[in-house]
Amino acid sequence: MVRSKKVAGLALAAGLAIGGLTASTAGTAAASPPACGGSGSVSTVDGTLADGATYLLECPAGTWNGTLYLYSHGYVRPGDPNPPHDVGDPLTRLWMLDNGYALAGSSYASTGWAIAQALPDQINTLNAFGSRYGQPKTTVAWGHSLGGIITAGLVQDYPKRFDAALPMCGVLAGGVATWNTALDAEFAFQKLIDPAVQIVNITNPMANLQAAEVAGAEAQQTPQGQARLALVSALADTPGWFDPGSTEPAASDYATQGRDSA
């Protein structure tokens, strides 16, 4: 709940900064497209792009304030379900729709490190919204994690399509720097925790991950293992608390911090 309110507050701040709360809303299209909002109930449109990516468009039940938020979702493991997302969590979705914002987002055509596919898919999702409802007065790109770097890429590659951007917990160092940081921690894990874990040229990613999780859980059972995991986490710059749904451990509660960061 606390996280959702904070995200909603960030979204509101970005909208206010660029005049998104004005009642005069969508640009007028020559073909008089159907109205976004004002029907008395939230309207949802699903569609599929030419490359197979799916998208989701939502308009508020009340008057649309003219601002569209294009959401870029985070990393999806290959093989996992990959539906489109237009917001990070349901409470934020309700708040934004209740306050007159329109939402949009796509699945991207592939999973994994899908930046190359996400950028055109997100722009084509914007195009789908414009074709159906007319152009928004204000467009804001936002997203979490991998969606944060996608958000940054969108405003860099398509600056005329956006008025503001809100990358959240984005890997903004870029792909090379991000994966090099991860490799530092993986190398330490391999040397200190489990020499059998593969860190490059991985032949079976799921089996490798499961073996690493088992080794990490076993390491948590001894003081020596906990100390080694703490070093691995430090190299990865992993915080000792990152779940707002749990209680933040005290500054001196090293055991809980270590468990949460592993």
pLDDT digit string, tens, across residues 21-58? 433 334 444 456 789 999 999 999 999 999 999 999 99
- Rounded to an integer, the average pLDDT of 131-145 is 97
Where a domain ends, among 168, 193, 211?
A: 168
Looking at the structure, do residues 110 and 182 belong to the same domain, yes or no?
no
Quick one: which of 170, 36, 50 has its CA closest to 100?
A: 36
- Going by DSSP bridges, is the β-strand pair 102-106/138-144 parallel, antiparallel, or unpaired? unpaired
Residue 250, CB-side half-sphere exposure with 13 Å CA sphere: 2
- Expressed as residue numbers, the domain containing 240 is 175-261
Per-residue pLDDT tens over the stretch 196-222: 999 999 999 899 999 999 999 999 999
At 214 the pLDDT is 96
Q: What is the pTM for the complete model shown?
A: 0.75
How many domains is the chain built from? 2
Q: To the nearest 5 percent, what fractions of the chain are helix, strand and coil?
A: 45, 15, 45
Question: What tokens does 124 get?
Answer: 């084509």
Scanning the structure block, which residue is given the tokens 């449109």?
45
Query: Alpha-carbon distance 110 to 56, whole Å?
Result: 16
Looking at the structure, do residues 103 and 131 belong to the same domain, yes or no?
yes
Per-residue pLDDT tens over the stretch 233-253: 888 888 888 777 788 888 888
First-to-last alpha carbon distance for the chain, in angstroms, is 25
